[in-house]
């Protein structure tokens, strides 16, 4: 009888631990949801990373630093769709944007 009780208790403890571990993974994944945004602006140079500066005369938009290694033509207008990355690896005060889609705009000038 004692053997059966100890076996059932061990099985219960191991399954409870497995469920708790799986629940923690789900919570971590939900916390890390990426925010995808689309921004328009001109590509400028900074000390470490390229910047996307909003067009002159637009209000309510921010300047974003782009991930190092993003291949863009400086001084050209772009529409960039990407995710905001934390922490910022560049030494700037701007939010860092990891581009997923780069579109060079032809009809707009910087």
**Residue burial 38-51, b: 16+ Cβ < 10 Å; e: rest:** ebbbbbeeeeebbb
Q: What is the pLDDT of residue 30?
A: 47
The mean pLDDT value for 71-86 works out to 91
Q: Is the pLDDT of residue 84 over 70?
A: yes
Chain segment 25-69, per-residue pLDDT in tens: 555 554 556 788 999 999 998 878 899 999 887 776 789 999 888
Q: What is the pLDDT of residue 79?
A: 94
In angstroms, the Cα distances linking 28 to 21, 22, 23 are: 11, 10, 9
**CA 10 – CA 95 distance, rounded (Å):** 49
pLDDT mean across residues, the chain:
80
How many other C-beta atoms lie within 10 A of the C-beta of residue 69?
7
| % of the chain residues with pLDDT over 90 | 31
The mean pLDDT value for 75-100 works out to 88
Between 20 and 29, the more confident residue is 20
Q: What is the pLDDT of residue 52?
A: 92
């Amino acid at each position: 009888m004692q053997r059966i009780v100890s076996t059932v208790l061990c099985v219960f403890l191991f399954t409870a631990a497995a469920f708790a571990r799986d629940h923690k993974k789900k919570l971590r994944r939900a916390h890390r949801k990426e925010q995808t945004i689309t921004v328009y602006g001109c590509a400028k140079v900074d000390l470490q990373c390229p910047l996307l500066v909003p067009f002159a005369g637009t209000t309510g938009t921010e300047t974003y630093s782009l991930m190092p290694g993003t291949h863009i033509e400086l001084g050209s207008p772009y529409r960039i769709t990407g995710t905001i990355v934390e922490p910022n690896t560049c030494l700037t005060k701007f939010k860092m944007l990891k581009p997923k889609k780069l579109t060079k705009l032809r009809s707009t000038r910087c």
